[in-house]
Structure 1
Amino acid sequence: MIADGVHSFSDLVTDTAILIGSRYWTAPADKEHPYGHGRFETLTNIFIGVILAIVGIGIGWDSINSIGNEAKTNPGMLAFGAAIVSILVKEILYRWTVIQAKKINSRALHANAWHHRSDALSSLPVAIAVIANYFVPDLHYLDQVAALLVTAMILKAAFEILWPAIMEITEAEADSDIENKIQQYASENSDIREVHAIRNRRTGSSILLDFHLLVDPDMSVDKAHEITEDFKSHILEQLDEVVDVIIHIEPYNCAERVINPCCGEDECHDENPKD
């Protein structure tokens, strides 16, 4: 029960981190942060994950050390009622927080929602242990077992929050499906001959995207610019998480082609489905 209480108290710490962090990651881009302040949200996620991990390790360590120690008193039905109330309240908080996180597209708020859910789930073994201990007083070890289950749930939640944040900090690909979507959008535009070198990375709840776009070598600069701007607008409309797109324009010639490279006249024919 104490372990579950400590877990619930950690909610207060992470909620405070969300309130403070949101003031920074929602700030617009400036001279010092030209790509925006999204990484402040990532740092908040890391903070939430670390706090959860510390709480989980502390509870687990205490539980292991106390295994075999006989409790002086058995928990009463008041403890059971407290666990049930905690389950209901935390589940309500989880559902409400998830709705708000989706509205504003906040990964940090979504992480905190799962912190509430893990709190609700961790109260289940507590409630079971209390009620079992009440009816079978000799099963003292159930309290330590329940605490270890709480520890496992907390550490699982901490990992699921920390891992995406670590991947973001190490510049991992944000979404593996984006390349296929860009290729699909490009295939629907007859003015675009090819797109390649597609890269995307996450900053907070947003994704930054860049790629090379090939057009007819004889096309004017103005026309090529117009095509890329229209294509950029289309991407931003279709992909909600993408907030910025950098497009490098190149001529569709043998030196720049990657997907459909040029080859010798005797080896193959230059085939372009859009010609």
Structure 2
Amino acid sequence: MQRRTLKQKPNSIPERSNPRSSPESISNLYGGLKVTVIGAVVNLILAVFKFMIGTTGNSRALVADAVHSVSDLITDIVVLLGIHFGNLPADHDHHYGHKKIETVSEIVLGLFLIIVAVKLAYDSGSALWFKKIVRPTSITLIAAIVSIISKELLYRWTKKVGQRLKSGVIIANAWHHRTDAYSSIAVLVGLVFTRISSALVFMDAVVSLVVSVMILKIAWGITSGGFKRIIDTAPPSNYIEETLELIRSYPGVKNPHNLKMRYVGNAIYMEVHIEVEPDISVKQGHNIAGGVKHMIKNHHKNVIDVIVHVEPLKNG
């Protein structure tokens, strides 16, 4: 039997829904922008505040915590870029949209954070090794407490908005706020030790070193994740298997195979081959392909487009 393939071809520019097409989408866009912009402003204020107090109050740990707030600010910027460029429609020069700008920004900002984290770790390690440590002043305690309260409140609000909008990226950003609160708690503990006894003044540099490692871990995650997406690394294997099982469940679909996925920003473009009974009409095959596409996009909210190739069932 001669093999034939029916391919559901996209237009020259992939279909994209207009983010401003409904009151609900406008509300969601505004809600995501509002919580992220306010978060960015808070992070900027905290970073400057902690850096100034840490510098004048002789606390390396608080300076490192200020840089941690900068890492949250960078995450806010990436989220804003994602919201902005993710809602720009595809055009004649960018058939797959503009989402990779978000990924490039992640990589650049992540590399910047890695450099800063290494510098902080080196300075803290040198201070411990050469015992060049000055006892922090009591005002640094106030800065740490303000940071803890601010970031915990920001975490709870951002998470609530993310859950309401069903936005994974906003929820992830909320957890970045929580990690900043945790690092501020560590800084506060270290500062309390330094105020208890001058013999424990080294704790400030120790906490600074720990926070530097935390920043380095976050920065590496941002950078490596961006590199993986920009070189078209596939999603995790369990995501792929789940999608195959979903496709198999669709009526009329036989032997889904050659499932391929790639990231464009944090979104996914997908392509899959399916087999159908050889005696059905072209229209029926097309309808099955359309149904599969619709089902996948409903199940995986980060999937933008699915190309379904329809083939006659082998030995059918």
Match of 1:164 in 2: 225
> What does residue 200 of structure 2 align with?
139
Letter in structure 2 aligned against 1:69: K
Matched, 1:153 2:250: no
Which structure is higher in RCO with an 8 Å CA cutoff and minimum separation 6? 2
* Deviation larger for 138-147 or 39-48: 39-48
- Give the counterpart letter for 1:42 in structure 2: T
Given the superposition, is the C-alpha separation of residues 18 and 187 from structure 1 closer, same or farther in structure 2, using an over 3 Å criterion?
closer
Q: Tell me, yes or no, if the aligned pair for 1:70 and 1:140 is still in contact at 8 Å.
A: no
Percent identity of the aligned residues?
35
1:214 Cα deviation from its structure 2 partner: 0.8
Q: Find 1:59's aligned residue among 99, 111, 120.
A: 120
- Higher deviation after alignment, 214-223 or 112-121: 112-121
Asked if 1:26 corresponds to 2:87, the answer is yes
Q: CA RMSD in A?
A: 2.5
Contact 2:82/2:99 (<8 A) preserved: no
- Do the aligned partners of 1:25 and 1:39 also contact (CA within 8 Å) in 2? no
Which of 267, 270, 285 is the matching residue for 1:209? Answer: 270
Aligned pair partner of 2:110 in 44, 49, 68: 49
Which consecutive unaligned segments of at least 5 residues does structure 2 have?
Answer: 1-61
The structure whose Rg is larger is 1
Q: Name the aligned partner's letter for residue 90 of structure 2.
A: A
**Pair 1:105 & 2:134 matched:** no
Distance 1:25 1:78 in 2: 43
Is the Cα contact below 8 Å between 1:45 and 1:111 reproduced in 2? no
- Flag the structure with higher helix content: 2
The gaps in structure 1 that reach 5 residues or longer are 255-271
Aligned pair count reads 253
- Determine which of 83, 87, 101 is the counterpart of 2:148: 87
Corresponding residue for residue 7 of structure 1: 68
Q: TM-score, normalised by structure 1?
A: 0.81
Q: 1:125 and 1:21 mapped to 2: Cα distance?
A: 31
Write the distance in 1 (CA, Å) between the matches of 2:298 and 2:261.
16
- CA distance in structure 1 between the aligned counterparts of 2:259 and 2:78, rounded to whole angstroms: 35
Does structure 1 residue 75 correspond to structure 2 residue 136? yes
Residue-by-residue CA offset, 1:17-56 (whole Å, 9 max, x unaligned): 5445643332111111111222122223223422332221
CA distance in 2, matches of 1:224, 1:130: 68
1:34-89 Cα deviation digits (max 9, x unpaired): 112221222232234223322211211111222233444x2233211211211221
Q: 2:132 and 2:199 mapped to 1: Cα distance?
A: 9
Comparing 152-161 with 114-123, greater Cα deviation is found at 114-123
Q: 1:222 to 1:169 in 2, by over 3 A?
A: same
The amino acid of 2:227's aligned partner reads I
Worse overlay, 93-102 or 205-214: 93-102
